Amino acid sequence: MDHTSSTGNQPLPQNARPVVIAGANGFVGSHLARGLAAMGHRVIALVRPNGALERLLTPAIGNPFEGTVIRTDYTADHLKAIFSEIKPRVIINSVGYGLDPTHRDLELGFQTNIRIALDIVDCASAVNADVVHIGSAYEYAASNAPIDEYLPINPESFYGTMKASASLLLRVKARELGLRLLIVRPFGIYGPLEAENKFIPAVIRSCLSRKPMNCSNGSKIRDYTYIDDVVDGFARIINSNTDWPEVVNLGSGYPIRLRYIVERICAVMDVQSDLFIWGEMPARLGDPPRMVADIRTMERLFEWSPRTKLDVGLQKTIDSIRNA
């Protein structure tokens, strides 16, 4: 088995049962791996054989990841071997495919979002580990009111449909196995190391380059949470002794119009907002006009609520892009 770490080849420590992050080189996964390791957790980062490690190792947002990286193809046999050796306490599954609107490979979507998730649950059950699966707000039906965990699943996008299918299957599988499983459905997450083509990084880069950017009409309402608050939410979940529900939403609970996000970025960066040309981009299919989380379950069960103000989070994100 290929064990490597950010500081070279090292044996796995044998003290506390570790936290495993599957998909640890992605945006959310890399922050979870870094953040939980910095909190003192023994963290094992699972990364595909050819997966890039820049998000884990870059010093741009603080100290690099201090833990162990294991390369895996996420086959059931390899996951079983890994979990049997390291005996994880909890596995956080942040593996995903399809959030980028250009990603539409049905077979790859099934294998990544559903098959790997089911295999993780199977292999976790064999070593008595808990599983936290990262789903998506796009699993829900559209709603003009804050979305709570009881809103029916009715996805309209490719990504939401894949994630919703995984959620339904995982809930049944976990009940059959007697596995402790929690599906976390994040709403908008932003911060350093997010993909360049995502909304907030794209706006920041347009401001830095002073190049005009075509936008939609900017009327959509979203719910944005800074990544450090997201990491804190996951830490509270895995450290909690409370009974887990089947699903929990993770977001800010505050509605923000996309045009307002642009205005705040322009204000923080001292750039004229006329750089952005509204109404030039068509609305994406399956992209609801409003998505805002009801986060009362996170507040009640895990005593969590986001603390980072929008301008503070935007400034940190801007600084990370400037310093990259």
pLDDT at position 64 is 84
Question: Which candidate, 229, 51, 237, places its Cα nearest to that of 132?
Answer: 237
pLDDT on residue 12 = 38
By CB atoms closer than 10 A (0-12, 13-18, 19+), residue 186 is buried
Q: How far is CA 72 from CA 1, 14, 44, 78, 274, in A?
A: 9, 21, 12, 7, 47
What's 197-249 look like in SS3? CCHHHHHHHHHHHCCCEECCCCCCEECEEEHHHHHHHHHHHHHCCCCCCCEEE
- Give 178: exposed, middle or buried? Use CB within 10 Å, 0-12, 13-18, 19+: exposed
pLDDT at res. 58:
81
As a whole number of angstroms, the distance between CA 168 and CA 184 comes to: 13
Smallest Cα–Cα separation from 109: which of 96, 93, 90? 96
Could you read off the pLDDT tens digit of each residue along the chain, which spans 324 residues?
A: 555 443 333 343 445 799 999 999 999 999 999 999 999 999 999 999 999 999 998 876 777 899 999 999 999 999 999 999 999 999 999 999 998 888 889 999 999 999 999 999 999 999 999 999 999 999 999 899 999 999 999 999 999 999 999 999 999 999 999 999 999 999 999 999 999 999 999 999 999 999 999 999 999 999 999 999 999 999 999 999 999 999 999 999 999 999 999 999 999 999 999 999 999 888 777 789 999 999 999 999 999 999 999 999 999 999 999 988
Indicate the DSSP class of residue 283. P
Contacts of 318 (CB under 8 A, 6+ apart): 204, 265, 268, 269
Give the model's pLDDT for residue 282: 87
Residue found by looking up tokens 């046999």 in the block: 77
Q: Does this model's pTM top 0.85?
A: yes
What DSSP string runs through 3-48? Answer: EEEBTBS-PPP-SSPPEEEETTTSHHHHHHHHHHHHTT--EEEEE-
Domains of the chain with bracketed CATH: 3-189+225-252 (3.40.50.720)
Measure the CA–CA gap between 89 and 261, rounded to whole angstroms.
39
Whose tokens are 């709603």? That residue is 143
Find all residues with CB under 8 Å of 242, minimum gap 6, and list them.
301, 302
Torsional sign, CA 134, 138, 140, 146:
positive
What's the confidence (pLDDT) of residue 203? 98
Query: Measuring CA to CA, which residue among 223, 22, 23, 225 is closest to residue 138?
Result: 223
DSSP H or E stretch at residue 131: strand 130-134
Q: What would the two tokens of residue 179 be?
A: 């596995």
pLDDT at 16: 78
